[in-house]
Amino acid sequence: MYLESMTIDEIMELIENKGYMSFETMAIMEEIECSKRIYDRLIATQGTGTAGGFVLENAVVRYYLFQLDQLKSRLPYDAMGGQFVVPILLMQEFRDSSTVNKVRSFCGPNVYLSEREIKGEIQKFITVHLDPQGIVLYMDILGHLSDMKEKEEKDNRQSLAKRWEVAFGKRKKTCRA
């Protein structure tokens, strides 16, 4: 929902405005984790067949793997910085407005994919798999969530101590000899 319709910058601004413990941040985190699992599994199986009804995801992954193979055959992947150039070229390819038609034609005429759904899936794939900002966003959310949970636990301990004081009065310090 968020990854399909918003850019990384918009997502980062939303998180900054709402906070790291907001419902929106948790939903974005869940979307990222779920999408990463799906794409990683499809890439690991080389995109063969449509696994478990992931038609859109599989179409985008198959097109990605095809483009990756094309670029690797044209560019020296290991020599002269090819391992850095190929991901940049892939991201540019996926951000091109004609990518929707390319994915459609790559999948063939037998598969019906709507333009809006393909655009959303491409946006999600870019955010989760290709864009380094997406990885940075994911790590940022993870880092802040652990900080926020620690703060929340500390606040809970302090509020428990305050409730104890209200109910039973302040503890007196005693000196033992």
Nearest to residue 29, comparing CAs of 118, 151, 128? Answer: 128
Question: Which pLDDT belongs to residue 5?
Answer: 81
pLDDT in tens, 64-115: 888 888 877 776 656 566 666 777 788 888 888 888 888 888 877 766 778 8
Q: Comparing 1-10, 92-101, 141-150, which segment has the lowest mean pLDDT?
A: 141-150
Sign of the C-alpha dihedral computed for residues 125, 127, 131 and 137 taken in this order: negative
pTM above 0.95, yes or no: no
